[in-house]
Amino acid sequence: MTFVTRFAPSPTGPLHLGHAYSALIGYDMARAAKGQFLLRFEDTDLERCKPEYIDQIIDDLTWLGIAWDAEPLLQSDHLGYYNQSVECLVALGLTYPCKCSRKDIAAALAAPQEGVAHTVYPQICKSRKMAARHADDALRLHMDRACAALPDTASGFEELGRWKKGVYPIDEASLISDVGDIVIGRKDIQTAAYFLASALDDQRQGITHVVRGIDLFDFTHVQVLLLQLLGHTPPLYYHHDLIRDENGKRLAKRDDARAISLYRREGATPQDIRLMVGL
């Protein structure tokens, strides 16, 4: 089987040890399988993403000995493309307009932290009709309708990682109660929410294996649901363990102390980084 994977950082900060670990695992897997390794910048959060981080990430990855097999894809170049899929979900009758506060929406837009990073929406706008949509409304997925609209054939995904290896059917009950009516169409710019754009690009880039951290495992259910509603076949997933700090907390981009650029300045070699992350 062809193997195509990708590293998909959000350029909101410097590359740190956790990202290097993820990129190296994907890259090593692609090379071992004589497959392809692609790079994608998930930069639709126009406020937090910075071009200088893109340059720095490219420089750090190159220094680590990682190469990619096509021009990097920049999501901000394709906002209209993601919006087409939002409109498909509208046409399927699976959305409603929402004018709720920025606070609810910010949580759904942010790069996911542990699990699906948002609060369950309290369905304030659920009875609003699409015909009453305002230009500055966000669009929410009507989760119960979406689950009911899933094709009858088995829906779900295959997980190849060490931790939760197996086939995972879509857990409709938990999507309805724990995930709820997420924002899929953003109101700040006319495009899809972060996680939908990411799943669509996995299709567009022909990704066969999504290699990424176990913190995104719950989030995979949402992406697979959306892909299957849009008639796509989800890729295979490989969620790896996380690099944590001494307190057991997952490293985030704000952990600048573990930025690869800093280790580089202190004289570390790429091999030192591999050893540090246990590779």
Under 8 Å between Cβ of 160 and 238: yes
First CA to last CA across the chain, in angstroms? 25
C-alpha 145: how far from chain center = 23
Residue positions counted in the chain: 279
Q: Which of 4, 9, 68, 109 binds ligand GLU (CB under 6 A)?
A: 9
Q: Which two tokens stand for residue 216?
A: 């995104």
Taking CB under 6 A as the criterion, which residues in 152-191 touch ligand GLU? none
Shortest reach from residue 97's CB to ligand GLU, in Å: 27
Q: How many Å apart are CA 19 and CA 251, to the nearest integer?
A: 9
Task: Rule CB under 6 A: say whether 196 interacts with ligand GLU.
Answer: no
Cβ-based neighbour number of residue 97 at 10 Å: 20
Task: Rule CB under 6 A: say whether 56 interacts with ligand GLU.
Answer: no
Task: Rule CB under 6 A: say whether 10 interacts with ligand GLU.
Answer: yes
Q: Which is nearer to ligand GLU, 9 or 97 (CB)?
A: 9
Site string for ligand GLU, 96-135 (x = CB under 6 A): ---------------x------------------------
Shortest reach from residue 8's CB to ligand GLU, in Å: 4
Q: Which of 44, 75, 155, 198 binds ligand GLU (CB under 6 A)?
A: 198
Task: Rule CB under 6 A: say whether 43 interacts with ligand GLU.
Answer: no
Cβ-based neighbour number of residue 79 at 10 Å: 16
DSSP state, residue 118 = S
Tell me the site size for ligand GLU, rule CB under 6 A: 8
CB-count exposure of residue 224 (10 Å: 0-12, 13-18, 19+): buried
Q: Which of 186, 212, 239, 258 binds ligand GLU (CB under 6 A)?
A: 212
The residue ranges that bind ligand GLU (CB under 6 A) are: 8-10, 42, 111, 198, 212, 216
